[in-house]
Structure 1
């Protein structure tokens, strides 16, 4: 069983126990640790540390010459030692190739999130035909223009 499946099983067990639902992941984690259903396997320590470091790198920003808040460090999936690995670089010194790969990878992630949202919305609407369908617009042109205008006004 994969680690993700194990985590999903813990959620299922939490719900079967009849505990508070809806709830937060922290509440489920407290329960899982307290009941001995979860402890960090030794093999997961490196991965967990790397994930925490990647999260911290994603949160580091700088202000560019035009006053824009810009993410400083960018990952790109690159081939190293025969396997694909996320390699991080600084936007101020990264090559154009690195940044293009990074931006393309990030865009694919956004498209994947949008596709999953569409599937979820379509499923919800199909399951609730008596309600007005939830409509989601995936053209972000106006949203981006509004945010740019707000930045310029500030």
Structure 2
């Protein structure tokens, strides 16, 4: 069973116990730890540390010459020693190829999130045919223009 499936099973068990729902992931974690359903496996320590480091790198920003807040470090999925690995580089010194791969990878993630949202909204609307359908616009052109205008006005 994958780790994700194990986590989903913990959520299922939490709900079957009749504990408060809806709830936060922290509440479920407290319950899972206190009941011995979860502990960090030794093999996961390195992965957890790497994930925490990646999260911290994702949160590091700088101000560019035009005053824009820019993410400093960017990951790109690159092949090393026969395996694909996320390699991080600094936007100020990274080669163009690294940045292009990084931006394409990030865009694919955004598209994937939008696709899943569309599936979720469509499913919700289908399950509630008597309600007005929820409409989601996936063209972000106007949103980006508004945000850029607000930045320029600030």
TM-score, normalised to structure 1, is 1.00
Identify unmatched segments of 5+ residues in structure 2: none
For residues 63-95 of structure 1, the C-alpha deviation after alignment (integer angstroms, 9 at most, x for no partner) is: 000000000000000000000000000000000
Distance in 2, Cα, partners of 1:64 & 1:17: 52
Deviation, 1:121, is 0.2
Equivalence for 2:32: 32
Distance in 2, Cα, partners of 1:18 & 1:69: 46
- Runs of at least 4 residues off by over 2 Å: none
Distance in 2, Cα, partners of 1:11 & 1:25: 9
Deviation, 1:131, is 0.5
TM-score, normalised to structure 2, is 1.00
Deviation, 1:132, is 0.3
Distance in 1, Cα, partners of 2:85 & 2:77: 5
C-alpha RMSD of matched pairs (Å): 0.3
Distance in 2, Cα, partners of 1:84 & 1:25: 30
